[in-house]
Amino acid sequence: MNKKIYLSSPHMSDEGYEMQYINEAFETNWIAPLGANVDGFENELSNKVGAKHAAALSSGTAAIHMALKAIGVGEDDIVFCSTLTFSATANPIIYQNATPVFIDSDYETWNMDPKALETAFKNYGNKVKAVLVVHLYGLSADMDKIMEICNRYDVTVIEDAAESLGTYYKGRHTGTYGKFGVFSYNGNKIITTSGGGMLVSDDEEKIKKVRFWSTQSRDAARHYQHSELGFNYRMSNVVAGIGRGQLKVLDQRVAKKKYIFEFYKKELGQLEGVDFMPINDWNEPNYWLSVMTLKGKVRPLNVMEALEKENIESRPVWKPMHMQPFFAKYDHVGGNVSEKLFANGVCLPSDTKMADEDLERIVKIIKGQWT
């Protein structure tokens, strides 16, 4: 069997930063949730991205849920949501008994189309409580246009930056434009804690409230007292230690992801019908996954099956939410850009542990589909 090449697997630091923090947690017996690593990770992450406050949580999904709850999203509210995303973006809208309306992408960013967003506001008026915009595959949405529209309608923006930690939009980190930003440390992300997430905001009181809800809404009393519904959403001190170590190598990971993307683009970009995800002048991506689109006789399934036969992972572009069986009953605004990206796109292996010989092996297999 040929050597396995992963799409995007965990990559611990060569320096062993993670183990330093994990060992500290064991030595001090701070194994239970909360502790010095949680506080440190919150502070270090918020400083890294330029947010004032952060809450370390069990997942990015939990962070989206808490953000929606913090702005009061509830029954009969509408939340505009990027349709080209993973279901974890949209599920928390349902947790809050609200109604998602899915907004199409544009080709310039592959993210939420500002023109479709404007149309959606004209259609739904004052029922809209929030806009949940995704930065897909590490590509930033056009936040100036989106923020201008949302500010005009006085609607709160939540950024799902789960895939874009380390991405800049016009010199500023994604996740810091809206009221809340959400990051994920799932095993396949650019840095990982094995599982976990972070909610960032400049609103100190909202973050304090999220921490309260996320620790079972336990009141300040000698006995266990709960005046509000609580959630078990806080990150553990051990997991946060992994995150602190991983954060130290984030810039290295971004550099390697960019190298991988540029390797693919140089080697495959001249093939007939091949194009790559858009890199704009104002966008400094983290290149989380390298994604190409195909128009012509060679289809994404041809590429994925050829790689799979050689023990190499790849996958389709996210299937849009409005095409998912569970979400199909909800409205979709815009054209069919997201559908075409789903039909024509393939996510290439983007594992930061790959060597040049791994990349050469991958492009040789892909090029073979054109012969």
One-letter amino acid at 317 equals V
Per-residue pLDDT reduced to its tens digit, 116-168: 999 999 999 889 999 999 999 999 999 999 999 999 999 999 999 999 999 99
Of the candidates 291, 286, 290, 289, the residue with the CA atom closest to the CA atom of residue 254: 286
Say how many CA atoms lie within 13 Å of 161 toward its Cβ: 32
Question: Look-up: residue for tokens 């974890």?
Answer: 88
pLDDT at 355 over 70: yes
What residue ranges define each of the domains in the chain, with the CATH number in brackets? 17-247 (3.40.640.10), 250-370 (3.90.1150.10)
In the structure encoding, which two tokens stand for residue 151, read together? 């500010």
Average pLDDT over residues 325-332: 98
Residue 189 burial by Cβ neighbours in a 10 Å radius (0-12, 13-18, 19+): buried
Per-residue pLDDT reduced to its tens digit, 14-45: 999 999 999 999 999 988 778 999 999 999 99
Residue 275 burial by Cβ neighbours in a 10 Å radius (0-12, 13-18, 19+): middle
Per-residue pLDDT reduced to its tens digit, 271-309: 999 999 999 999 999 999 999 999 999 999 999 999 999
One-letter amino acid at 146 equals I
DSSP 176: S
Evaluate if pTM is beyond 0.85.
Answer: yes
In the structure encoding, which two tokens stand for residue 253, read together? 């990971």
Residue 14 burial by Cβ neighbours in a 10 Å radius (0-12, 13-18, 19+): exposed
DSSP 180: E
In the structure encoding, which two tokens stand for residue 62, read together? 């939990």
% the chain with pLDDT above 90? 96
